[in-house]
Amino acid sequence: MQSKFIWIFFIASISFSSLSYTKDFFRVSGGDLLISNTGMTHSEVMEIINNEKSFKQVSYSHYILEASVGGEFDVRLRFAGGKLIKIVSKQVGRKNYR
């Protein structure tokens, strides 16, 4: 009986951690290039964005980027103390691969 509760707790903890983690990164169209708010500096993030083939800068720390999921996203990056602390993204366009 105890092992059943431990197993349920384990699955629940993985589910909740994965829900919070999805807001912590943005994978750009290069696929292996990942912008993550787990301690990246401003210069590291700018290097990834500048290496992208297609990006539009709307304003400081506000971009339209191609995501690896196949669409355009409006991405706002929030920095504090030179470190990325928050990524807010909203899908604005979707590519059809048919």
Q: Each residue of 22-57: pLDDT tens digit?
A: 467 788 887 667 888 778 999 999 998 888 888 899
Q: pLDDT tens digits, residue range 53-69?
A: 888 999 999 999 888 77
Residue 81 lies in a domain: yes
Sign of CA dihedral 10, 12, 17, 18: positive
Residue 15 has what pLDDT? 40
| Spatial CB neighbours of 94, under 8 Å, sequence gap ≥ 6 | 70, 71, 72
Structural domain of residue 61, as residue ranges?
24-93
Count of domains observed in the chain: 1
For 9, the enclosing helix (H) or strand (E) is helix 2-21
Residue 18 lies in a domain: no
First to last CA, the chain: 50
For 91, the enclosing helix (H) or strand (E) is strand 83-94
pTM for the full model? Answer: 0.66
Calpha distance 91→47 (Å, rounded): 22
Residue 16 lies in a domain: no
Residue 12 lies in a domain: no
Residue 11 lies in a domain: no
Q: Is 10 helix (H, G, I), strand (E, B) or coil?
A: helix
Residue 80 lies in a domain: yes
